[in-house]
Structure 1
Amino acid sequence: MAEQYNTLGAALVEQWGPPSDAVQAYDEEINEHVTIRIYAPACQKKALPVGVYYHGGGYMAGSPALEDPICRIISEQTPCIIVSVDYRLAPKYKLPTGIDDGYDAFLWAYENASKLNGNPFAYFAIGGSAGGGIALSVTEKLIRNGKRSLIQGVVALNPITSHMDNPPAKYKDIYKSYSENASNVPLIDRHCMDVSFGNSGVQPDDSLVFVTLSSNLSSFPPVYIATCEKDILRDDGVVLEHLLQDAGVKVKREHYARFPHYFFVFPSVKASLTFILNAVQGIKFVLNPDIMPSPQRTTEHLLGEHTSTNRESAVANEADSSKKRDHITNTSHDAGYDQTSSNRTGIDSDTRLDTPHPDSIPNPAPTQPDTEFADEEEQDEQPEEDDPFGLDDTDSTRTASTASITSSITRYRWENGRRYHAYKDGVYWGPNDEQAAEHLDIAHHLFLLSFDNKLHLAPIGKNPQRVLDIGTGTGIWAMDFADQYPSAQIIGTDLSPIQPTWVQPNLKFEIDDAEDEWMWQRDSFDYVHVRCMFGCIADWPRFYQQALRHLKPGGYFEQIEFAPGFKSDDGSLDPNSPYGTWHDIGVEVGRKMGRSFETMYEMADMISDAGFTNIHEKRYKWPIGTWKRSRADKVLGAWVRFHIEQGLENWSMAVLTRFMGWSRERVLLEIALVKQDLKRDDIHGYHEMRVVYGQKPRD
């Protein structure tokens, strides 16, 4: 079993791609038994927090090398020094040998704070699975030996905290994961744990190994815990949280619904990077925030430096904005303070494209899309493609925030493996499943990157009162706007109820078709925002007239759109390649639909014709890939390429099968060929984007 674990781990490390030069790493022997790997952010001059990291592997497998990508991300993004410990493993070395090695490494790291450029007041233990258990056991041993002052926090990711045969009596009734996840779950099951505990020589009543039996919990520093639903160790974390709360210890637990044990080491899973970045926030939770330095670089560069072809989708727009969607439950407890909240984050296992060989695909005749309809409660039966863990991956927990939603609105269309809206079925061409939702949130981050982190360019003032967001999608722009402008009442509309339920009190979402007659009071909005509505409106002049009528005099309308395809100025993009013909295909699709995909080129004139004044247009050429010279352009280009790669199927599957007669296989092949060219830096492609805003006359 250890050999299989190590082989898989080595393969996963390769998938993360080459290491970034933003973190320096080197190995050092601290005694005759223990070697450590030290990670330090480059160019950091201040003394940094120090985390002593313990790898997973059931006490009998694993090594620092197998979790090298995770340590690098944590080191850079916290920022902190990471000391990753190569502790001795079972069955040759029974426990508590591994714990003793971990303890010795922690003391060495503390005693060498000056050498490491570490802050002696900001030391923490961190680890996952068995390593999470060791991090907790090292803390227990420090307390027993009168060295509690050396450690300021613990970050325990899917940790071992209890023996399945001897959970704490007080919480035995909720300790169910060993029965619920005993078999038919990915990665580890009951058999794996039996082997691990058997080889490690642990006793069920050992309170050093199983800290839920400790009598010292009230002396523990703050603890951050991450648990996963499909994990046999799930309730190890749950019970530990309860016991720490009982002991008055500051504790926070984040729970990942539908995910299995240790999924975050898989770079092909979208949520992996989100998990790791949330662990970074966990470090900041357990340490004193006043001593935390800022990272030299923010998370957007992780896209280019920690991704492989199948993985470039785990992007978190910082942990803050990622928590505005589904499937993470976050509970926190401090002494004298207890709060439970549901943060909605949208993390989701990845879908991968298995590209068919071109020779295997005949030139297809026009086909009808493979279409089904399913009520929302039946959606669990709809398969997601290539779920890496074989787990249920629907987003049926998403609900609308208005009470008027009927079952017909959530009786979604399933077509070619993707899910589409039911209300006004077929009017909008884009899917509304989790894959599409994540892509919309990636686009949101890209716009922020382009606009210097601004949510709008129109000069709307500091206190707008009523704001309308047409085609709100996941609602992420509206939620950010509600945070920035608490004085405003925001309405976000869409055909699909995929927005979170738990939102700010000054925001509400409504199911509405922007092509219908607008039912709001005229002259009532200070600002109307529209983004990425190409191919959605049949009569744009009428749409702009409605926006004008419903704005207050002096109010602003703003629209952001991008082109249906891609260009180059130097001839490096072959106009006859799939990459080069994407634009023309989009134009033809729009013509057949009767809904133009060229809105970007036309909107300034149409907005002016509608009667708006003070019209401004700003044009952008987004570089695709990292072919430009400046670092800022390389970061932007990496995001643009990522956005396009994730968007190609969303943009094309429905329209090409419905209006162009293509088969699903032909669409996927075309997408695969475009993606091949997207990665070529000798093609100097760019994607055009424009912003237009105008003002309703005051008279």
Structure 2
Amino acid sequence: MNTLATSAEETIAVDDTDHSSDAEDDGALSSSSVASSVRAYRSEHGHRYHAYKEGSYAFPNDDIENDRLELQHNIFLKTLDGRLHLAPINKGLHNVLDVGTGTGIWAIEFADEFPSAKPPRWLERLLRQCPSVPPNLTFLIDDAETTWEFSYKFDYIHGRALLGSFGNWPRFFEQSYQNLEPGGWLEMQDIALPPTSDDGTLTEEHTLYKWGHLMVDAANKIGRSMTAPTNYKTWMEEAGFVDVQEFRAKWPQNGWAKDRKFKELGQWNQVNLEEGLHGFTMALFTRVHGWSKEQVEEFLPRVRSDIRNRKIHAYWQTYGNRFYFLPPYPYSYPSAQ
């Protein structure tokens, strides 16, 4: 089954042959000033966070989270049948931007796949001193929420798992449009909260349900929507993109699904959720909801219990979008694959 073709209405079949236990596991600022601020980390409740803009990004950036992001990269690859992208980009592209690159694993693999994508000339000398990354890749620390001030435009802009990263999503898409070459592509891959179920097995009484809605509520209060991916398509069209295509997939919360691919996605996602749960939750619940660390740590084991429960057929809705920039003059478009 191709999960990319999964519509929002398609129900994932439950594996009725699984007799395992229900709880079984399977810009405006200079780059240098932004970089200095970003590296001024804050430690809080056992995690390391960005201190930039008083920690407006509520998720950690410590080693535990970086390891989880590497795992999540593989879940995205599994979802896309091993592909790094959906847009029908050609091998001859030059300038590519990966927004919010995280550990850089996507960018590194993309740079290897597209050796023609080269950095600006003034970076070439510096990059020769960085043998750990492909020679056509560089990392820039800057604030993507401020005005983008690139001296060149991009053939392809990519953003993945940016949930909670922007307070003004329409502006992000407008700037992406303005910084693309004619005929360029913008592609987004993201996850939306809260988790849900098609068969009613996730109810308001479950702690997982309560957790998801508390996360959404806290994020809304600080202007960092957790439901933003549901509006990406509309915002792209308003920014001027055409041929906006949206693909939806589902990540089960554990291995409850019958279909082999969904089952594997669920097994991977269970590890992803359990490893990230403490970091996802702590800052939003303590800073916004006013919970104590002890209250959060008493609450989370019940969330984990629901994540492991095979009788709860919950999933996270994921969105894969590709957006086409219509040029102002005749242009030979790459054919869709």
TM-score category of the 2 structures, normalised to the smaller one: 0.7 to 0.9
Q: 1:459 to 1:678 in 2, by over 3 A?
A: same
Tell me which of 658, 662, 670 is aligned to 2:287. Answer: 658
Taking the aligned partners of 1:677 and 1:605, their CA distance within structure 2 comes to 33
- 1:482 and 1:490 in contact (8 A); partners too: no
> 1-side partners of 2:195 and 2:174: how far apart?
31
Whole-Å separation in 2 of the counterparts to 1:443 and 1:421: 20
Is the CA contact (8 Å cut-off) linking 1:564 and 1:597 kept in structure 2? Answer: yes
1:143-542 alignment, distance < 5 Å: 408-489=37-118, 502-521=132-151, 524-542=153-171
Q: Does 1:687 align with 2:290?
A: no
Deviation at 1:422, TM superposition (A): 3.3
Q: Alpha carbons of 1:407 and 1:543: their partners in 2 closer, same or farther (altered >3 Å)?
A: closer
Unmatched 5+ stretches in structure 1: 1-303, 313-401, 492-499
AA of the residue aligned to 1:429: A
What is the TM-score when the length of structure 1 is the normalising length?
0.40
Which ranges of structure 2 fall in alignment gaps of 5 or more residues?
1-19, 121-129, 329-337
Cα–Cα, structure 1 residues 450 and 672, in superposed 2: closer, same or farther, change >3 Å?
A: same
Identity %: 40
Deviations 1:279-302 (A, max 9, x none): xxxxxxxxxxxxxxxxxxxxxxxx
- Cα–Cα, structure 1 residues 562 and 461, in superposed 2: closer, same or farther, change >3 Å? same
The equivalent residue for 2:331 is none
Residues 501, 658 of structure 1: alpha-carbon distance in 2 compared, 3 angstrom cutoff:
farther
Residues 53-64 of structure 1: pairs in structure 2 closer than 5 A: none
TM-fit CA distance, 1:580? 1.3
Runs of 4+ in 1 over 3 A off after TM superposition: 402-409, 422-425
Maintained 8 Å contact 2:236/2:323: yes
Match of 2:207 in 1: 578
CA contact (8 A) 1:419 1:433 kept: yes
1:490: Cα distance to partner?
Answer: 6.2
SS in structure 2 at match of 1:469: strand
Aligned-CA RMSD value: 2.2
- What is the identity, as a one-letter code, of the residue corresponding to 1:557? L
1:502, distance to aligned residue in structure 2 (A):
2.4
- SS of residue paired to 2:195: coil
Amino acid at match of 2:241: F
In the TM superposition, residue 405 of structure 1 has moved relative to its aligned partner by: 8.2
Offset, 1:641 = 1.3
1:597 aligns with 2:217: no
* CA separation of 1:446 and 1:673: change in aligned 2, threshold 3 A: same
User: In 1, distance between residues paired with 2:327 and 2:212?
Assistant: 39
What is the TM-score normalised by the length of structure 2?
A: 0.82
Instruction: Give the secondary structure class of the aligned counterpart of 2:64.
Output: helix
The CA distance in 2 between the partners of 1:550 and 1:657, in whole Å, is 38
The Cα of 1:460 is off from its aligned counterpart by 1.2
Letter in 2 for 1:473: G
* CA distance in 2: counterparts of 1:583 and 1:679, whole angstroms: 15
Higher strand share goes to which structure?
A: 1
Give the letter for the 1:610 counterpart: A
